[in-house]
Amino acid sequence: MSERLTADVAIIGGGLMGCSAALALRRMNRSVLLLEQGWCGAQASGVNYGGVRRQGRPEIQLPLAQRSHAIWQSLPELVGSNCEYTISGHLKLARSDAEMAALEEYREQAEKFGLQLEILGRAALRQRYPWLGDKVAGGSLCASDGHANPRLVAAAFAQAAKRQGADLREGATVETAAFDGRQFTVRASNGLEVKAKFLLNCAGAWGATFAEQFGEHVPEFPIFPNMWVTEPMPKLVEPNVGIVGGGFYVRQVARGNFVLGGGRGTGQLALASTRPTSAAMFASMKMACECIPALQNALVIRSWTGVEGSLPDHQPVLGASATTPGLFHAFGFSGAGFQLAPAVGEVLADLVVHGATATPIQAFRIDRFSG
């Protein structure tokens, strides 16, 4: 070992989960050493679509999403930048009566968690958003949802954590992590050895590998959501738009480009190599053009994907290890962790400092997969 360090908390992974945990822990005066194999925010956290939405999340995620929503409002004070966070509204479209009924039902569930949604029928929707196509039968608007620039967010959390005294080590691939009954020893490929009382597993699509090292099997698998962006076009679409069933999602940024997502790309987790797939992209784009006809002549200038850890029930693993005291997991956000991440960092800090959190996370416990 070329360098030996100690900290209150060691964190594996410098995505948005790891960086927001590092910041929250520093704000609670704990020393933090974060190890990132590449660059902070270069994986899922930096290449995602940028949707900051609560609408459409399952009930069990809404308390966490609501906590996060409050933190998103304070980004400039918290991390020194608004990261292009825009409260644009999130509009979910329906194409049939059955889809409208699903939106109505969801509105009632969401209301119990303080999430206000407005259901708009065909005529009201067309009047408010004249750029919608005839296939759209109605929609549900969450006026307080929005979007942000993912390239800025994790980097801003990383820089803020650093300014507050967190030690962030990039280019440090964690090879082993072990617990001797008293403390953790984490060893990285660059010769760094860290001893810490607490360990946070924030390794994203690689999270299950570390859970396994502590005898916890999680059926995590990688997914590669397809993304693409058009040339800048005249400003038209204000809200972040999705559709029942999730066939496509689109937002227009201040410069005029439309950022779209839909379908899956391909990739290899071991190499962290990913590629978008054109067939899936064309199918999603066709649906997007039917709903927003102005997209029909848009020139696509770039497409990409990224790797995200997913779980069979599409819920993350978040909370205490079931085998090892002092170990906490936060991984497998199944394509929807960007909005949640600021609260996930605070929840992890609560668990380390207080041993509990006020935010309900029982549904995300790791041992739901055992047996």
Ligand X SMILES: Cc1cc2nc3c(=O)[nH]c(=O)nc-3n(C[C@H](O)[C@H](O)[C@H](O)COP(=O)(O)OP(=O)(O)OC[C@H]3O[C@@H](n4cnc5c(N)ncnc54)[C@H](O)[C@@H]3O)c2cc1C
Per DSSP, the residues of 172-237 read --EEEEEE-SS-EEEEETTSEEEEEEEEEE--GGGHHHHHHHTT-----EEE-EEEEEEEE--S--
Beta bridge partners of 90: 142, 240
CB of 134 to ligand X, least distance (A): 27
Q: Which two tokens stand for residue 111?
A: 């209301």
Closest to 79 measured CA to CA, from 7, 162, 6, 179? 162
- Does position 36 interact with ligand X (CB under 6 A)? The reply is yes
Q: Which two tokens stand for residue 281?
A: 């992209």
Q: Give 344's contacts (C-beta < 8 A, 6+ positions apart).
A: 17, 20, 21, 64, 68, 318, 330, 337
CB of 292 to ligand X, least distance (A): 18
- Does position 242 interact with ligand X (CB under 6 A)? The reply is no
CA distance 261 to 280: 10
Which range of residues in 34-42, 63-71, 97-105, 124-132 is near ligand X by CB under 6 A?
34-42
Chain positions 156 to 175 lying near ligand X, rule: CB under 6 A, are 173-174
Which range of residues in 7-15, 64-72, 118-126, 346-354 is near ligand X by CB under 6 A?
7-15
CB of 255 to ligand X, least distance (A): 18
Closest to 145 measured CA to CA, from 64, 52, 248? 52
CB of 122 to ligand X, least distance (A): 27
b vs e for 106-128, b when ≥16 Cβ sit within 10 Å of the residue's Cβ?
bbeebeeeebebebbeeeebbee
CA distance 346 to 342: 7
CB of 52 to ligand X, least distance (A): 7
Out of 72, 85, 198, 206, which residue is the one contacting ligand X (CB under 6 A)?
206
- Does position 315 interact with ligand X (CB under 6 A)? The reply is no
Give the contact letters, 249-278, x = binds to ligand X (CB under 6 A), - = no.
Answer: ------------------------------
Residue placing its CB nearer to ligand X in the complex, 298 or 336 = 336
Which range of residues in 23-31, 43-51, 228-236, 292-300 is near ligand X by CB under 6 A?
43-51
* Nearest residue to the partner ligand X, using Cβ: 15
Which range of residues in 65-73, 86-94, 336-344, 349-357 is near ligand X by CB under 6 A?
336-344
Q: Give 39's contacts (C-beta < 8 A, 6+ positions apart).
A: 14, 170
Chain positions 87 to 146 lying near ligand X, rule: CB under 6 A, are none
Residue placing its CB nearer to ligand X in the complex, 15 or 138 = 15
- Does position 202 interact with ligand X (CB under 6 A)? The reply is yes
Contact yes or no for 176/192 (Cβ under 8 A): no
Out of 186, 243, 327, 336, which residue is the one contacting ligand X (CB under 6 A)?
336
Out of 138, 242, 262, 306, which residue is the one contacting ligand X (CB under 6 A)?
306
Which range of residues in 87-95, 159-167, 203-211, 360-368 is near ligand X by CB under 6 A?
203-211
Which range of residues in 134-142, 196-204, 211-219, 319-327 is near ligand X by CB under 6 A?
196-204
CA distance 62 to 137: 26
- Does position 47 interact with ligand X (CB under 6 A)? The reply is yes
Contact yes or no for 215/323 (Cβ under 8 A): yes
Q: Give 232's contacts (C-beta < 8 A, 6+ positions apart).
A: 255, 256, 257
Closest to 206 measured CA to CA, from 305, 338, 308, 304? 308
Pairing of strands 138-142, 118-121: antiparallel
Residue placing its CB nearer to ligand X in the complex, 137 or 161 = 161
Which range of residues in 3-11, 45-53, 63-71, 348-356 is near ligand X by CB under 6 A?
45-53
Out of 225, 247, 319, 326, which residue is the one contacting ligand X (CB under 6 A)?
225
Beta bridge partners of 174: 188
The dihedral sign for the CA sequence 207, 242, 235, 300: positive
Q: By the criterion CB under 6 A, which residues form the site for ligand X?
A: 12-18, 35-38, 42-45, 47-51, 173-174, 202-206, 225, 227, 305-306, 308, 331, 333, 335-339
